[in-house]
Amino acid sequence: MLFNSIDFAVFLPTVFLLYWLLANKNLRLQNALIVLASYVFYGWWDWRFLSLILFSTLVDYTIGRKLKSQENKTKRKILLWTSILVNLGFLGFFKYANFFLDNFKSAFSFFGSEIATNSLSIILPVGISFYTFQTLSYTIDVYKQKLEPTKDFIVFSAFVSFFPQLVAGPIERATNLLPQFYKKRTFNLSKAVDGMRQILWGLFKKMVIADSCAELANHIFNNSADMNGSSLVLGALFFTFQIYGDFSGYSDIAIGTSRLFGFNLMQNFKFPYFSRDIAAFWRRWHISLSTWFRDYLYIPLGGSRGGTWMKVRNTFAIFIVSGFWHGANWTFIVWGTLHAIYFLPLLLTNKNRKNLEIVAQGNFLPTVKEFLQMLFTFTLTVFAWIIFRAKDITHAFNYISGIFSASLLEVPKLSNPKGAMITMLLVFIFIFIEWLGRESQYALEHLGLKWKRPLRHAMYYTIIIALFWFNGKEQQFIYFQF
Amino acid sequence: MKKFVLRILKFSIPALLFLLITFTYYRHSKTKVETKLSTFSAHSFLLMGDSQIQRLRGESISQGAKNLASSGEHYYFTYQKLQTLVHNKNHRIDTLILGVSIHNFAPVYNRLFSLDFPEGEKSLKKYLYFIRMFDDSGFLTTFDKVLKPAILGIYSTPDFGGFYESTNSNPKKAIINKAFNMHFSIKQEEAKFSDSQRDYLYKIDRLCTDNNIALILVSTPYHFDYKKQIDRKYFDFFLESLKKLKHRRHLNFIEEDIADRFMSDANHLNKLGAKKYSGIIGKKLKAEKRDVLQQ
């Protein structure tokens, strides 16, 4: 079920009313309702996926319980590795089996021997990378005794399948989300209103910004061989805003929806395109994944302790794995590696924790230096997105070569110039609103709160009208495929 | 909780009011449109179809003939218009000329019949008042796709169609190629042929049979440079589709070699061409009528 669909527009109020009216005074009933709603939400794509999530839930619940009673270190390790192998095994099979098969085949043919393999016909279950990482965090935290394993199977099922963030995050830590299922939840008006505001802003990002940019970006990327340099630059920019609008829009809707049910999810994006260096960008982009890798991969590998070589190795490891997490394609691996290369100078000069504060905090405009830093970081990011979006490495190489050609100074060739102009205008308005709200959790959080109600409502209505008027052709959320 | 629901309801009042006003306006305009459309049923001779037929002079074909063809009109809308016309018990329609050409089965007509494309949204905006809200056509899909073009359509003037005269002549190659690409280029995973056009063509045929209307199919000429680019498969699909309508008179001018001065662009006659071919069609029909009477 997509957040920007009629199905969800019916589903959400129904679950909301049942949750607060029928199950209001009974925590167990509320949790059970969440599980039921989440399974309906997930099964809406394909009911067969449910068996996978149920199995994953059963495995990690059981292992969690066993870890509690087991004191033998070796046996505890075996339990941990069972969970890791089961979860990553599923992920590996569904997401990467064909990638490895194809690459083995290519490697063999490179050395002159042909092997016959057939690609497997596998459907990638929606959001598998997200809930797999979430359940893994639980088992690892229980293993490390940072968290008490839950006895309540319903609570654990609700934690694994919580529908607002099930298919595209934020990837919640058990230490943050699980305890919330134990606490009595009472309806909080301001929290619910705030949730609605965040949902509205998320829908705007997705339906207006991401989907409009997607149509143009898709056209340019799919026909990149026929495009001049300036059009290719526009294509990369459109994709840059598509992926941000799409993914952060989803996170906003997820966080807002959770607030309607009395839950607090972690902030997943902190205005990443206003970052002044790549390190800051990664502290602000897909925070739940970056911190997951930091806590469960980078630190166990040694983190920034040890010598320079160790630091470099760990940095490359985390970025490459992060790239590969996005999908079974070399483009993602190269994208991750490129970001590691961007990051390296900052790490080696100990400047990776320099720009921690919000840019131009308390000021309306940034300084020239800040502006140039943001522009530079943004350019690096856009360049990397080209590789991320390309079909394969050859496509990415040709696309980039096309940019750095004489045609860069030509007028862009667009199939729908009027549509492109409108989209650009919308993106400018979007950047402006994001800039105004950069000190908040999301751009709309405090915008207009001090205005008189009619004016504030007029602003919300403008956004709602924009949702219908300027929405692009409905696109699947990009991160669902990850 | 109650406060929250009340707040949502209060916030929704302007939207609900707008929808109420729009719906009332729609009902009012729909009655007006249907009344106006049914006045055309007083004509015994009608011309319908897309922009090709729009160029024909009704008066030159038959006295009192009314041209209701409209640019880019999918047969679904022609069918809906015709239904409204024959719904009038006192209708006098006895003959209908319907444009039918190769490009009518081209991919562009799939787009004109799908709200996934801007062409389809335009169709809904133009013909909203002629269609029934709940039918099994599959044109009106989800609420979010329908809402914007429907609201635009409610507050726009509906396209009743009508005669259109063009003074252009000797079209340039670029214009011809542009039209060809518009009609025949396939976007993404589109179907190659428009099956929905064929389905509604047959529905129009049945509607005419049920209402004793003589249906005459007319294919006006194409510019040579346009025609030569069309894939043979489209010719075959066109002829195959018409096999089921063998019982209908078909005046086919597609194969004719026509001088550039008669064409305004790739597939449309200009003023001169319209005069010539309307005259030819008129004469043919009169001669046939005479023959029938003599027999």
| Residues of chain A contacting residue B12, judged by C-beta atoms under 8 Å apart | none
Same domain, A126 and A229: no
Residue A120 has pLDDT above 70, yes or no: no
Nearest to B147 among A5, A457, A468 (CB): A468
Report residue B250: phi and psi, to 5°. Answer: -125, 115
B232-245 mean pLDDT: 93
For residue B11, the chain A residue with the least C-alpha distance is A457
Are A152 and A203 found together in one domain? Answer: no
**Sheet architecture: strand order including B95-99:** B66-67, B45-48, B95-99, B214-219, B249-252
**Which chain A residues touch B18 with a CB distance below 8 Å?**
none
Task: Give residue-wise pLDDT tens across range A426-460.
Answer: 999 999 999 999 999 999 998 888 889 899 999 99
CB contact under 8 A, B144 and A468: yes
Contact A221, A479 (CB under 8 A): no
pLDDT value for A174:
92
- Is A58 in the same domain as A181? yes
Distance from first CA to last CA of chain A, Å, rounded?
A: 16
Q: Is A326 a catalytic residue?
A: yes
Q: Is residue A348 part of a domain?
A: no
CB–CB contact B1 A468 (8 Å): no
Per-residue model confidence (pLDDT) at position A410: 85
For chain A, what is the domain count? Answer: 2
Distance from CA of A464 to the nearest CA of B (A): 10
Q: Give the nearest chain A residue to B149 (CA atoms).
A: A469
In a domain, A397, yes or no: yes
Query: What is the nearest CA distance from A468 to chain B, expressed in angstroms?
Result: 6
On whether residue A154 sits in a domain, the answer given is: yes
Q: How far is CA A231 from CA A128, A227, A240, A242, B80, in A?
A: 35, 6, 14, 16, 43
- A203 shares a domain with A154: no
Tell me the shortest Cα–Cα distance from A45 to chain B, in angstroms.
17
Contact residues on chain A for B141, CB-CB shorter than 8 A = none
Q: Across the strands, what pairs with B95?
A: B45, B214
The yes-or-no verdict on residue A482 having pLDDT over 60 is no
Q: Which of A326, A339, A446, A457 is catalytic?
A: A326
For residue B121, give how far its alpha carbon lies from the nearest alpha carbon of chain A (Å). Answer: 12
Q: Which domain holds residue A259?
A: 191-276+355-481
Closest Cβ–Cβ partner in A20, A464, A468 for B1 = A20
- Each residue's pLDDT tens digit, B58-75: 999 999 899 999 999 999
Closest residue of A to B118, CA-based?
A473
pLDDT-based confidence at residue A82 (cuts at 50, 70, 90)? very high
* Per-residue pLDDT reduced to its tens digit, B92-136: 999 999 999 999 999 999 999 998 888 999 999 999 999 887 777
Q: Which of A5, A189, A461 lies closest to B14 in CB terms?
A: A461
**3-state class (DSSP) for residue A307:** coil
Whether residues B11 and A20 touch (CB distance < 8 A) is answered with no
**Chain B residue with Cα closest to A195:** B4
Q: What is the DSSP string of A172-195?
A: --HHHHHHHHHS-----HHHHHHH
**Cβ of B1 and A474 within 8 Å?**
no
Chain B CB contacts of A474 below 8 Å: 144
pTM given for the model: 0.83
- ipTM score assigned to the predicted complex: 0.75
| Omega prior to A170 cis, within 30 of 0 | yes
Q: How many CA atoms does the CB half-sphere of B42 hold within 13 Å?
A: 5
pLDDT value for A327: 79
Q: Please check whether residue A371 is in contact with residue A190, taking contact to mean a CB–CB distance below 8 angstroms.
A: no
Name residues whose C-beta falls within 8 Å of residue A322's C-beta, 6 or more positions apart in sequence.
A289, A290, A293, A336, A339
pLDDT of residue A115: 64
Instruction: Choose which CATH entry (3.30.460.10, 1.20.1080.10, 3.40.50.1110, 3.20.20.100) describes domain B43-294.
Output: 3.40.50.1110
What are A's interface residues with B at a Cβ cutoff of 8 A? 4-6, 20-21, 24, 187, 189, 192-193, 196, 457, 460-461, 464, 468-469, 471, 473-474
Minimal Cα–Cα distance from B4 to chain A, Å? 6
In a domain, A290, yes or no: no
Each residue of B18-54: pLDDT tens digit?
999 999 999 999 999 988 888 899 999 999 999 999 9
**Rounded (5°) CA angle B72-B75-B81:** 100
Q: How far is A124 from chain B (nearest CA, A)?
A: 21
Q: What one-letter code names the amino acid at A256?
A: G
Is there a contact between A461 and B15 if contact means CB atoms under 8 Å apart? yes
pLDDT for position A116: 63
Chains A & B: contacts with CB separation below 8 Å = 31
Q: Are strands B249-252 and B214-219 parallel, antiparallel or unpaired?
A: parallel
pLDDT at A71: 86
pLDDT in the model for residue A474 = 61
Least CB–CB distance from B148: residue in A193, A196, A469: A469
Is A17 within the bounds of a domain? yes
Is A333 inside a domain boundary? no
Averaged pLDDT of chain A: 89
**How far is A70 from chain B, CA to nearest CA, in Å?**
45
Single residue among A137, A172, A187 that ends a domain in this structure? A187
Q: Is the pLDDT of residue A240 over 60?
A: yes
pLDDT digits (tens, 9 = 90+) for B150-205: 999 999 999 999 999 988 888 899 999 999 999 998 876 667 889 999 999 999 99
Question: Contacts of residue B116 in chain A, CB cutoff 8 Å?
Answer: 473
Position A42 in a domain: yes
For residues B55 and B269, is the Cβ–Cβ distance under 8 A?
Answer: yes
> What local confidence, expressed as pLDDT, does residue A106 receive?
72
Residue A391 token pair: 């079909």
Q: Is A145 exposed, middle or buried (0-12, 13-18, 19+ CB in 10 A)?
A: exposed
Residues A218 and A170 reside in one and the same domain: no
Q: In terms of pLDDT, which residue wins out, B227 or A94?
A: B227
Using DSSP's 3-state secondary structure scheme, residue A451 falls into coil
Q: Which residues of B fall within a CB distance of 8 Å from A471?
A: 144, 148
Instruction: Measure Cα distances from A155 to A27, A31, A53, A188, B115 in Å.
Output: 10, 6, 14, 21, 43
Q: Assess if residue A349 is contained within a domain.
A: no
Residue A118's pLDDT band (boundaries 50, 70, 90)? low
Rg (CA), chain A: 23
Instruction: Round to whole Å and give the CA distance between B273 and B179.
Output: 18
Q: Which of A6, A193, A461 sits opposite B144 (nearest CB)?
A: A6
Contact list, B144 vs chain A (CB under 8 Å): 4-6, 468, 471, 474
Segments making up each domain of chain B, as ranges: 43-294
Nearest CB neighbour to A189, from listed B4, B116, B147: B4
Measured between CA atoms, the residue of chain B closest to residue A473 is B116
* Ramachandran region, residue A153 (left: φ > 0; alpha: ψ -120 to 50; beta: rest): alpha
Q: Do A193 and B4 touch (CB under 8 A)?
A: yes
